[in-house]
A and B are shown apart, each in its own frame.
Chain A
């Protein structure tokens, strides 16, 4: 039986929810996984809740259905927690990695009080980080770094390389800023696990 890791991303249109899954599909492949990422397309408006999916496996991936029982949930925007049941179907021993301005304990108390205790909740203030470094509240690269730091599924060096390549065409400065953001989020999350 091969491994299959399933990740669901939640956020709002304009935050790069789809790109987050896509960057990790590219980086995961560089780490030797077979990968598949795809969005759940909605009304494509800025601000509306958006979902995207990522699968990592040791064999070619044939499952193209939506992810109902993720191993990991990554939340790019604190305000979707509540209106969207981001924790739906998460597996035992799973992990929720959320952009949230408060501590993990506070998030658990405020929104996930009924959550199975085997599920780990981690928070990071990615909006502040993105504002500090990018000057814009686009949290996808920070959360990609947070995901890798929390799960250790992808090496920081691989992720930095992937993120640089991803943003390079939009200019080296932007690419470097995103790499900085990834590293900062990775290291902060690494310390919390």
Chain B
């Protein structure tokens, strides 16, 4: 193992290389581009073995090429975000329906309009229902570690679904920080070659994603849902195996701190979790019974784990990085649905840092303290917003 200061892009690209993908196909979009640029450089230097690196004319094309490649039994990789991801969306629903375990990194970025190249989670949230596994990572080490695990989970025969590793654009992708880089041998021992039971070949022609009239469509949806639910156990097992193999335990579908006797739970996903953990630790020292719940897997949703840890909690603070317009933040929506009938905690959710607005420590502290002190109503709020007057013409 080598500990090196590397940029987030490289941490991801290097892990992808170790997983020996057979086809990489991508279209550039900020802040993802350098991930695939690193891979393109590795490819040009002959470091990717027999991998084919294909440049596409758009994200739609890139995803389509990978659907074809994955159907032939190739291990595939792409990375995208924002407008690129939603341009891919039609294809990704197909990839999930065809049960193709494409692994992709989403360098989370806001959606237009207005145009924003900066970070929030609105892009991956827009893909919430597609049947694609979504895991959010906290730092570049977790992003690096998640790549081999993503392949192992996605390619498990009881799962066979696409997998999104969601990492915050800029905050992680552009950050230089120390990362323990994996050895080829470690990944080889952990991740078997991809060998799907059914492949597209010229010798034995098959149809993927074919026409399903009403008499059989529904059953495909049933098995997709079952695969997602089965993925929970597969993920737990793979995460555990990873912790034993590397000594780095990132937790299960969720990871918790100070939840044993917590009266107030703080819920978040992604790169802001580290700072929130620090605030929670400081509040513990002040005698406040606060705990942290980091949601790692957003799809499948960790319903059972959340019911367990939230059982005796009185108030829940959720930091949201996206909005379901006309309702509220997507994490709180799912959290409340999971806890309904199992927990009476009041839920306070705060949309923060949309379109890359900074999330300073003081803001986190203020939101939690306001909830503790009863200064804020239950429900959905925007925090860190400037005072402004909306003009309705």
Contacts and interface: CB of A to CB of B under 8 A. Distances in A.
A25 interface: yes
A68 B360 contact: yes
Contacts of A41: 31, 117-118, 170, 174, 356
Contacts of A14: none
A18 B170 CA distance: 12
Nearest to A35: B5
A157 B274 CA distance: 33
A110 interface: no
Interface residues on B, range: 20 to 34
Contacts of B274: 62-64
Given A63-B278, A64-B272, A39 B174 contact: yes
A25 B172 CA distance: 14
A65 B358 contact: yes
A63 B175 contact: no
Contacts of A29: 5, 178
Interface string B163-199: 0000000111011111000000000000000000000
- Main SS at interface, chain A: mixed
Q: Interface size class for chain A?
A: 20 to 34
Interface in A75-123: none
Contacts of A21: 176
A62 B178 contact: no
A158 B277 CA distance: 33
Contacts of A26: 5, 176
Interface in B339-374: 356, 358-361
B360 A36 contact: no
Contacts of B271: 64
A188 interface: no
A18 B275 CA distance: 22
A167 interface: no
Contacts of A180: none
Nearest to B277: A62
B175 A64 contact: yes
Given A22-B176, A26-B176, A38-B174, A66 B360 contact: yes
A8 to B, nearest CB: 13
Interface in A29-44: 29, 34-39, 41
Most interface-central of B118, B172, B174 (chain A CB within 10 A): B174
Nearest to A23: B176
A25 B174 contact: no
Nearest to A54: B176
B361 A65 contact: yes
A61 interface: yes
Interface of A: 18, 21-22, 25-26, 29, 34-39, 41, 60-66, 68
22 contacts: A22-B176, A26-B5, A29-B178, A34-B178, A35-B176, A36-B176, A38-B176, A41-B31, A41-B118, A41-B174, A60-B178, A62-B139, A62-B275, A62-B277, A62-B278, A63-B275, A64-B272, A64-B274, A65-B275, A65-B360, A66-B358, A68-B360
The 7 closest A-B pairs by CB, nearest first: A62-B274, A38-B175, A25-B176, A29-B5, A37-B176, A26-B5, A66-B358
Given A38-B170, A64-B272, A65-B360, 4 more contacts: A18-B174, A38-B176, A61-B177, A64-B175
